[in-house]
Every structure is written in structure tokens, then in C-alpha cells.
Structure 1
Amino acid sequence: MPQWLSLWRREAVPTLLLAGPLVVAQLLQVGMGFIDTVMAGRINAEVLAAVGLGSSLWNLMLLACIGATLAISPLVAHLNGAGDEQAIAGEFQQGLWVAILVGLVAVPLTYGLAAALPLLNVDPEIAPLAGDYLRVSAWGMPGLCLYLAPRYLNEGLSNTKPAMLVQSLLLPLNVLGNYLFMFGDFGITPMGASGAALSTAIGLWLGALMMFAYLWRGKRFRPLALFQNFAGPRPKEIWRILKLGLPIAVAIIMEVGMFSAVAIMMGSLGKVEMAAHQIALNYAAMMFMLPLSISQAITIRVGHAAGAGDLRLAIVRGQQGVVMAGGIMALSATMLLLFPELIVALYTNDAAVANMAMSLLFAAALFQFSDGLQVSASGALRGLKDTAVPMFITMFAYWVVGFPFAWYIGIQLAVGPQGLWGGLAVGLTTAAVLLNLRFYLLGRKKIATAAGKVTDPVGDV
């Protein structure tokens, strides 16, 4: 057997073992959005569309918070790979201050999104309900960030099970919360879309409490002394983490912002189109959790190898993860093409919404493979602490290429929802090509730099 193939086989199992719990955790988390969507669809099309639009915009803030705090994972992975356990507590404590700062800033920004809805030409029946959804869900943002800091600490230590355990507890609580607050029972007034937001916000705070309880009681964390001699905020350390994390947040915002902008344009076409868009997007988001989980595992594995000084192994781990993610999303595209009726039937029995949603699922099949390649390449680059260049790549791919194409084809040429989704496919494909090219070139230069052949480390660009 060739040496490279033997190495790939040996490295595949640890990556999959790391990714497995992350897949479950991510699917459970997105399952909460799936449940919100299904339960909203049982009320009426207006509530379904409002939850769809509100959650799309709220996800923009949620993923920005994830991006800003995600730097904790590769930073801890590098320290863990280098065997520097004494520095991990300090990294976590400053990461926690970053999480608090980001969570507090996210609240007024989410309110701002709600205030901007009347300016976005959204259907007047949908806009007020979506605004209420955003205002209620905003108060879950600090809880989200307090959950993310200990989660990414664990993942940097190659421990991906806590997120799975917490999400498995939160999912049934979300169902109960939706039932109580959306439909009303036990004397509670039915709240519709706002009820779904309230249930989500409560769940985020509960998730934070569970994660800190896990850290506090876990025997494996005692040698790290995470909460002993707890340091106050140190601006230089906070800025160092944000300098790595903010480009991740911007890159995520670029992608999710494109999807949110398309959702807004879809909302201007009518409530049937918006409801169909939400169905197709929710399914695509669920499948995206698979390559996203692999991407997070890649960040950990690449960061650990890079911290240990084995750059060749780091590059192999990144390449392997990209192949895995691309293969999984190729299977997802096949599912969309073969079984669109079964997928749509899970969401709605409205014939008009169902027919439109099936046409969008065919469009979604076009970008599944590209989505897997771009997110896995991003994860590999984060493992190398390379976040600035990927940020500019995503800006170009999504806002110079993808969004203008969606607007021109979908709105100006009046192709409609299918044209808007075609723009998503073009943007994601452009990002996939450029991010993988960046990882290839960066890997070659870093290995050459480590070997003393060049003096200009590209990773600092």
C-alpha cells in the first residue's frame, strides 16, 4: 500500500471520531429550527414565513457570535498540541471575556435588525411577526456566547461529546417550550412566532448553565485549573483572540448574509415564495451540519498537528477532511434529486407551497457539493490560524459574484425564486474553488518555510 494512502487511512478514523459527536450536536441544534418550522407551519403560512424570515436574520447574528468565539478552538488546539497545558486556563478565561463582550453587543444589533424590517420591502403581513421574533430571541444571545466559550475549549482539547450531550437535552425542552408558548396551554397566551423565539432564548441560557456545570464537575479539567486565579479582562489578550475570531465572524456573515439577503428578496415576492424558501433552506441547513461538523473536526486536528510542529501532517488532515465533506454533500445532492416530494411533505400540506419548495430543492442540489468543499477548506485554514485572507475570499465570492447574480437573474430578469437560488450556487462554488486554492498554496509555503527554503511565512499575510 502506498505510504500516503496508509497515512490517510490512519488519520481518517480519529477525524471521524471527533466529527461524529459534532454531527449529532449540530443536527440536534438545527433540529430545533426544524421543529420551529414544522410547528409554525401547523399554525398558518404567515407564521411559517415570519419564523423563516426572523430565524434567517437571527441566524446572521447567531453565526457572527459563533465566528467571533470560534477562535478559542484552534488556539486551545495549538496549545494542546504543543503540550502547554498551563497556558490553556488563561486562554479560556480571556476567551470567556470575549464571549461576554460579543453576547452583550449582539443584543442591540439584533434589535436593529428588527427595526430595519419595514425598510426591506417585506410583505406587511410578515414583517411585524418577524420583528417580534427578533426582539424576543435577542435576549438569548448572551446565553449563546456563554455556552460557546466552554464548548470550544472542549473541542480544542479534542473533546466533542459535551455539545452533543447538551443539545440532546435541549431538543425535547424546545419542543415543550414551543408547545407552551406558540400554541398556548396551562394558562399561557398563544404567542405564535414570538413563542418560538422565547423557547429558543430560554434554551440558549439553559445550554450555558449545562456547559459550565460540565466544566465545574469534570475531573479531567481539574489539572487545568480553569477557574483558579481567574484573571480579569486583558485588552491585549482579548484583542489577540478577536483578531483571529473577527475575520471568522465576518466570513460567516458574508455567507449567511447572502442567504439572508436572498430571503429578504424572496419575501418581497410573496408569502408562498417565502414559505417555500424557508422549507428548502431549512433542509439544506440540516444537511450542511454534516460538512460543518467535519470542518470543525478538521480545525481541531490541523491545529493540534500544527501546534506540535508537524505541518505536513496538518496539511494531510486538512486535505482528507475536504474529501470527506465533498463526498458527503454529493450524497446529499443525490437525496434532493431523488426524493423531493418526501422531503417537502414533512413541512407542509399546502399544495402551492409544496410545488414551489420542490423546485427550490432541485436548485439546492446544485450547490451541495460546493458547500461541502468551501466549509471544509475554511476549517482547515482556521486550523492554521489563517482567517484574514479567507475573509476577503468570502467577501468576493458571496457579494461580488453570488449576490449580484441572484439579484440580476431572480429579480431583474424575473426568473423568480429559482434564479435567486441559482445565485447562491454560483457564490458557493466560487468560494469553494478559491478557499481550496488558498489552502493548497498556504500549505506548500508553510512547509517550505519550516524547511528553511523561504523566509516569508505566508500564514501571517
Structure 2
Amino acid sequence: MKKIYSLYKDHYRSNLNLAIPVVISQLGHTLVHLADSVIVGQFAGTIPLAAVSLVNSIFTVVMVIGIGISYGLTPLIAQENGRKNFRECGKLLSNSLLINTITSLLLFAIIYFGLLLSIDHLHQAPAVVKEAKPYLGLLGASIIPLMIFNTFKQFAEGLGFTKQSMIISIVGNVLNICLGIIFVKGMFGIEPMGVRGVGLSTLIDRVLMSLAMGFFILKSKYFKEYLKSFNIKRISQKRAGKILKIGGPVAMQYAFEVSAFSGAAILMGTIGVVEQAAHQIAINLAAMSYMMASGFSAAATIKTGTNLGKRDFSNMRLSANSSYHIVMLFMLITAFFFSIFRFYLPWIYTTDTAVISVAAQLLLLAAFFQLFDGAQVVGLGILRGLGDVNVPTLITFLAYWVVGLPVAFFLGLHTKFGANGIWFGLTLGLLVSAALLYIRYKRVMKRVTEEI
């Protein structure tokens, strides 16, 4: 252990310094939905909480597609910055901003003209659907400012500036919680809005966050050298293609995993409202650890891409390995936390004892799959930094849609396991993904380093 620590300690320190602000910033995406769930669960009841579960399971798929496309910018910025090609960074930002704006408008159209109409046909409780519709419409509108925020965020992080988006995310989440409570309860003369209130608070929060992040990038002295070539009118088909060549597969990777968990939420709804509400609690908590792990993954992408641009293959390998070590230790801690406090954490969301009992069982399973979840997400990040995205996309599809979700469907709806059976299937999908991505990482790293 001493030899390992001595070999990797500089990389542990460097990766953590870069990753921790990204972790907190990434956590902001999940904290928005956690705040919505807690506020609704405490102040509105079990049926509104089930509605939040249904909407979040649908919206999260759309959201991660957008986030995945925006991630196409980060490794390219890191690589060009490693080569000291500052003008190319500004040109890439111009193309990414246009791509992400168009993508956000398309995703909004899918939600507003597609999902809002199809939600009636998912065999959910009518009372849940009635509560869900206005919330989904407001979240759909929030995807536009969210994508603009993410464009500037990924640009800054690709250059190693991670603290600013963290600060904006923290302030934004505090604002979201305050507004959510005011709107849901009906304070200061405002009529109680119920579930619709948390949707409105999220929309306002994301608009302000996008304005703050854009102002920081465009006005800060740190980026003047990079922004000399920034011009939204100069769009290059070649650069847009490079961004989409990475961002498209990354979006699919996220979509395959998250849609499997969203499919599980819909399966839960066919079992019962209590199970669906319990699933929302457990998946919300598990999503927090996942998003934090994805922060380590994003840092691994930046480090790998920068070292690849410098052709510093020795440090690239050591940095990548240290990212695995860090995320596995972190997920061990979260697994322990979920196990010990599984009967207490659901009280944050609800006082319904039936929901709490089911949620506690699911949190024990969430503790079990933490290591697999952390390993697979950091593997994706390292491979993204290496520019390897197509095979990992196939791996995520096989793991979640060929293995995980079918097993969840069978065990959950056709055996006595019920809600637990659905999560057994999800755990198996994560295990398959983690194993195959690690094998892929070792092969690609060996191939790249042998090209010296």
C-alpha cells in the first residue's frame, strides 16, 4: 500500500484538486431534483411525490442527452489547451454554443409536443398523471437555459477552471430551495402551487445560472486569449462534427443508463404508488453519489485529454489509474452510508411509513451497486478523454438494455421479488458495464501508449 501511495500520491492530489469543484457542480444537477422531491414529499404528500418520481424519470433521460452532447466540448478543449492552441479553443466554444442551443430547442419540442401527450398512456395512476403534467412542462422549458449554462461550464472545466461553476451551482441550489418552498406552500401572498411550484423554481434557477456562467466566461480576464477567435457567426462544419462525434455517443451512453433507471420507475408505477414513491427516494439518493462520481469522471476526462494533447503517456496512465482508486474509495464510503442510515434517510422525504419501509430495502441494494456504478462512470470518463466513445456506447447499451432492464422486468413483475427484483436487474446491468468498460480501458490505454 505504501508503494502504491508513493507512486500515485501526486496524481491523487492533482486529481482531487481538479475534481472536487466539479463534483460539487455536478451534484447541483441532482440537488435540484432532490430539493423538488423533499419539498413536495414534506409539504404536498405521497401522490405528488409519486408524480415527481414519474416526471424526473422521464425528464432525466432528456436532460442527460443534452448534457452528454455538451460534454463533447470538454476533451477537445483539454487536448487543444495541452497543445497551447488557444485560438482553436475559442472556435470550438462558438460551435458548441450553437449546437447546444439548437439541441435544447429540439429537446424542449420533444417534451412539450411528445412526452406531455404520451404520459397519459404509461398506465400510471390518474391522480399521479394529473399532478405530473404541469411539472413536466416547466422542467421542459428549463432545458434551454440548462444547456447554455453547460456550454460555458464545459468550456471552463476543459481549461481547468472548475471552482466558478461550483459556486454558481451552490448559489443556484439555495435559491431553488427557497423559491420551491415559497411556491409549493404559498407564502408571502402567493397561492400554493403544489408540484407546479417546484417546476417554476427550477426554471427560474436555471435561467439565472446560465446568465451568471455566461457573464463569467465572456467577461473574465482568464479567457481573453481564448475568446479572441470566439464568433458565433463563424460556424465550421468540421469543428461541429468533431464535437458531435464525441458528444453524440456520450449522450447515448448517459441515455442508455438513465433510461434503464427511468424504465424501472415506470415499472414501479405498475406495481403501486408506494413503490414508485419509494423508488424516487432511493434513486434520488443513489443519483447523488452517481453525480459526484461523475465529477471524478469529468476530471479524469480533462486530465486524460490534457496529457494526451501533451503526449505525456506515462502521467496519463498514472492519472487514469488514480482516478479509479479515488472513485472506488469514495463509493465504498457512500455504500457504508446508505447501509447504516437506510432506515433514516427516507424520513428526509416523507413521513409515510409504508414508503419508508420499501425505500430502506432499495437503499440496501443501492449500497451494493455503488462500486459498480463508480467504476463504470470513471471508465467512461477516461475513455472519453482518449477519444474512445463508440465502443463504450455499445457496452452501455448491452449492459442496461440487453441485460439490466430485461432482468429487472422479469424479476420485478413475474417473481415474488417485486420492487427489489427491479433493482436486482439494475445492479446486474451496472456490474456488466463496469467490467466491460475496465477491459476496454486497459486495451485502449495499452494501444495508445504503444504508439510512442
TM-score, normalising length from structure 2?
Answer: 0.96
- Quote the residue 2:185 is aligned against: 183
Q: After TM superposition, give the deviation of residue 432 of structure 1 in Å.
A: 0.2
| Counterpart selection for 2:121 from 119, 122, 133 | 119
Cα distance, 1:216 vs. partner?
A: 2.4
Map residues 69-84 of structure 1 onto 2, 5 A cutoff. Answer: 69-84=70-85
Aligned residue identity for 1:30: T
How far apart are 1:364 and its partner, in Å?
A: 1.0
Q: Percent identity?
A: 33
1:333 to 321, 332, 335: 335
Structure 1, residues 353-406: CA drift from partner, whole Å, max 9, x if none?
111111111111121110000000000001101111110000000000000110
**How has the CA–CA distance of structure 1 residues 323 and 21 changed in structure 2, closer, same or farther, with 3 Å as cutoff?**
same
Following superposition of structure 1 onto structure 2, how do residues 28-427 of structure 1 map, counting pairs within 5 Å?
Answer: 28-42=28-42, 43-111=44-112, 112-226=114-228, 229-427=231-429
| Change over 3 Å in CA distance of 1:319–1:120 after alignment to 2 | same
Name the CA shift for 1:282/1:229 in 2 (closer, same or farther; >3 Å). closer
Residue type of the alignment partner of 1:156: G
Instruction: Say whether the 8 Å CA contact 2:98–2:232 is kept in structure 1.
Output: no
Contact 1:371–1:428 (CA under 8 A) maintained in structure 2: yes
Which ranges in structure 2 are unaligned for 5 or more consecutive residues?
Answer: none
The answer to whether the 8 Å contact 2:93/2:230 transfers is: no
Q: Write out per-residue CA displacement over residues 204-223 of structure 1, whole angstroms, 9 at most, x where no aligned residue.
A: 11111000111122111112
Partner residue of 1:454? none
Q: How many residues align?
A: 450
Contact 1:115 / 1:131 at 8 angstroms: preserved in 2? no
Deviates more, 1:393-402 or 1:21-30: 21-30
Shift of 1:283: 0.9
Give the letter aligned to residue 26 of structure 2. Q
Q: Is the 8 A contact 2:185 2:192 kept in 1?
A: yes
1:25 and 2:13 correspond: no
1:296 aligned counterpart, secondary structure: helix
Cα distance in 1, alignment partners of residues 150 and 308 from structure 2: 23
Deviating more after overlay: 308-317 vs 392-401 = 308-317
Q: Distance in 2 between matches of 1:221 and 1:281?
A: 38
The letter for the 2-side match of 1:348 is T
> CA-to-partner distance for each residue in 1:334-366, whole Å, 9 max, x for gaps?
112222122122222111111111111111112
Q: After TM superposition, give the deviation of residue 4 of structure 1 in Å.
A: 6.9
TM-score, normalised on structure 1? 0.94
Q: Say which SS state the counterpart of residue 191 (structure 1) adopts.
A: coil
**Taking structure 1 as reference, are residues 209 and 226 closer, same or farther at Cα in structure 2, changes over 3 Å only?**
farther
Alignment match of 2:447 (pick from 445, 448, 453): 445
SS in structure 1 opposite 2:191? coil
Deviations 1:111-151 (A, max 9, x none): 22222212211122112222221112111111111101110
Q: Residues 393 and 422 of structure 1: is their aligned pair in 2 closer, same or farther, counting only changes over 3 Å?
A: same
Asked if structure 1 preserves the Cα contact closer than 8 Å seen for 2:87 and 2:226, the reply is: yes
The offset of 1:3, in angstroms, is 8.2
The CA deviation at 1:52 is 1.5
